[in-house]
Amino acid sequence: MRDELKIFKKYLKQKGLKQTTQREVVLKLFLESPKHLSVDELSRRVRESDPGIGHSTVYRTLKLLAGCGLALESQFLYGRTCFEPAWGVEPHHHLICTRCGTISEFRDPLIGAVRDKICKGLDFKPEADRMEVYGVCSDCQGPRELREED
Amino acid sequence: MRDELKIFKKYLKQKGLKQTTQREVVLKLFLESPKHLSVDELSRRVRESDPGIGHSTVYRTLKLLAGCGLALESQFLYGRTCFEPAWGVEPHHHLICTRCGTISEFRDPLIGAVRDKICKGLDFKPEADRMEVYGVCSDCQGPRELREED
DNA sequence: CTATATGCAAAGTCTTTGCAACCAA
DNA sequence: TTGGTTGCAAAGACTTTGCATATAG
């Protein structure tokens, strides 16, 4: 059994909640799907796999997954909200292409270092952070040779 | 006349749009209000100043202000969206207290440096970025002497 | 005059909630 | 049994849009 399923089951038991088929299906699809799916897109996939599962169950299950650290909610600009797997995933940040919508990731230890320095200086206790860069990805910029420099 | 009003008027003329009392009122209140106000809060203030101005006019005007660079839209986690003045304001990032909701700002040149380095490496053309740190502000942590260390 | 702007209400989004039926434990 | 769960539909919160009227240029 996957670690994530174990964690989820343990979390449910610990909270006195019940383990249901729907919850397992949502977790499975969540883990199998590409990252950065919108709730709607995930919900559509869940329905394809098991047409009986309602929209609200997907939402409710995602909240539970976020509650036990298996999912992380991201709200990007331009109205997109998505949940992404968070277990065993190192902290990272996002690059969002404003042309094609592709979301990619990057990591850099300096970001965390700056955050800690700032927080220390301002006596702010950090719990979470996010950084996003919006712009045009390599593909959408077209072939390098044809680009106008700006 | 404030620079912002000049810029706005110039923008409107250039786009073939009209200069109206409502637009001026919204701009004025937007500039006079504390930063990081939600659209609803701003709309309420606009109504107080001029009860006839509709909600949609506020929304439409804010979009215009964002279009000419006078306002910047920020969507924070936990459902808060706000516009903040952007003209003559240096790029900065936000600290959001998850207890009291206070939003403060910080600046650090390293953030931009990391962004540029990452983007260069990935051939991504950056247009905008944001960084937010969520946590507990100094006030909400209580008196320093009484805090449990963790 | 004429094209844009306005206010209202209605319609969209996206997400949450109330509820009767259901089902793990 | 019994208390959490589900799907549905309805309700919410927030934002945009359609339209008849008003108005800047």
- Looking at the partner chain, which of B75, B77, B138 has a beta carbon nearest the beta carbon of A122? B138
The whole model's pTM is what? 0.85
Residue B133 contacts residue B96 (beta carbons within 8 Å):
yes
How far in angstroms lies nucleotide D21's C1' from the CA of residue A81? Answer: 39
Q: How far apart are CA B103 and CA B25, in angstroms?
A: 25
**Could you give the angle at the alpha carbon of B93 between the alpha carbons of B88 and B94, nearest 5°?**
120
**DSSP code string of A13-80:** HHTTPPP-HHHHHHHHHHHHSPSSEEHHHHHHHHHHH-TT--HHHHHHHHHHHHHTTSEEEEEETTTE
For chain A, helix, strand, coil in percent to 5 are: 45, 25, 30
Q: How far apart are CA B81 and CA B74, in angstroms?
A: 6
Mean pLDDT of A98-123: 93
**Residue-wise pLDDT tens digits, B6-31:** 999 999 999 999 999 999 999 999 99
Output the pLDDT for position A150: 57
User: Cα(A1)–Cα(A6) distance, rounded to whole angstroms?
Assistant: 7
Half-sphere exposure of A11 (CA within 13 A, CB side): 17
Residues 18-57 of B with CB under 7 A from strand C: 18, 20, 22-23, 52-57
Q: Is the pLDDT of residue B79 over 70?
A: no
Is the pLDDT assigned to residue B80 strictly greater than 80? no
CA A98-A103-A107 angle, 5° bins: 120
Identify residues of B whose CB sits under 8 angstroms from chain A CBs. Answer: 73, 75, 77, 95, 97-98, 104, 106, 108, 110-111, 114-115, 117-119, 122-138, 141, 144
Q: Are A131 and B134 a contacting pair at CB < 8 A?
A: no
pLDDT digits (tens, 9 = 90+) for A7-18: 999 999 999 999
Mean of pLDDT values over B93-99: 88
**Looking at per-residue confidence, does B47 or A101 come out higher?**
B47
